[in-house]
Amino acid sequence: LPPIKMHCSVLAEEALKAAIDDYFAKAKSRMNTNEGTNKHE
């Protein structure tokens, strides 16, 4: 890849990793918040 395209692909990879980390952090937080509650009662 040309250098400018390589830079963009690295930024995209970093953004994707950050988004995935953020998703799992929020999902874990939601699971901890909902611990001990049963929505089906």
Whether 3 maps to a domain, the answer reads yes
> pTM score, two decimals?
0.64
HEC profile for the chain? CCHHHHHHHHHHHHHHHHHHHHHHHHHHHHHHHCCCCCCCC
Whole-number pLDDT of residue 1: 73
Tell me the pLDDT tens digit for each residue of 1-41.
Answer: 788 788 899 999 999 999 999 999 999 988 887 765 655 55
Domains in the chain, number: 1
Whole-number pLDDT of residue 25: 96
Whole-number pLDDT of residue 21: 98
Whether 1 maps to a domain, the answer reads yes
Structural domain range at position 25: 1-29
Whether 39 maps to a domain, the answer reads no
Whether 25 maps to a domain, the answer reads yes
Whether 34 maps to a domain, the answer reads no
